[in-house]
Amino acid sequence: MKKRSLLFSLVLLLVLLVGATNSFAYRFEDVIKKGNELYKNGQFEKAIAEYKSILDQGYESAGIYYNLGNCYYKLGKLGYAILYYEKALKLNPDDEDINYNLKIARAHTVDKIKEVPQIFLVEWWDGLLAALTLKGWAMLASILFVLFVLAVGFYYLSNNLDLRRFSFIAGSFLITLFVINVFVLIAKYDRETKTQYGVVVTNVVTVKQSPDEKSSDAFIVHEGLKFKIEDSLDNWVKVHLSDGKVGWMPKGVFEII
């Protein structure tokens, strides 16, 4: 009986966590609706204020970032539009609308950067990490663990030999998937916390060869360009473009995704 009560408590806890998350989201439904109405009426600045008020309270979603991207695109602020589309894509990488609007926005950028080709295994690994968000991988790990616990519970509680055999096989399979999932989750977390990307939000930026205003010019970039941040020194960041170019950019001309 104790084992059954423990299993019931685990399932109940999972249901309560999901319910609490949904309840938290519903609190901002009215604000989102108000922002959407302002957007439909062409009041993009006011719509931005409404959406950002939600972000200021610690709540974020792909939908809010997507709406912000649309507002900034309508205002002609290409850098901020791409910034928020990228933020939305980070939370929902498979969304067709986000990908499409981001593609349209990028088509209007001045810089057309050709990426350095990657070997197959690197592309495959990047694709696997991008398949789910950090929260998505964490949720999948939680689900796999709960299913594993249930399989173990059925194995010990059932008197049916066939069911015990099935539970053992299912449990072995689930724990293997759980371990793999945890490995991917750690890799995803490491990439999310250690790797930062930025988007240029000013019209033109001159990238320097070293973190000094008097340094020689390395190259010029324009609004909307996405880049990788490799290092930081005082008011400068070392940027790495997808075509391999490296230089130093002053802070204040970009936003971090």
Share of the chain above pLDDT 90, in %: 55
pLDDT band (50, 70, 90) for residue 123: confident
Note the pLDDT tens digit of each residue in 108-122: 999 888 766 667 787
Asked if residue 133 belongs to a domain, the reply is: yes
């998937």: which residue's tokens? 177
| Residue 177, C-beta contacts closer than 8 angstroms, at least 6 positions apart | 144
Residues 68 and 57 in one domain: yes
Tell me, what CATH number does 27's domain have?
1.25.40.10
Asked if residue 114 belongs to a domain, the reply is: no
By residue range, what is the domain housing residue 130?
120-194
Rg (CA), the chain: 23
Per-residue model confidence (pLDDT) at position 9: 55
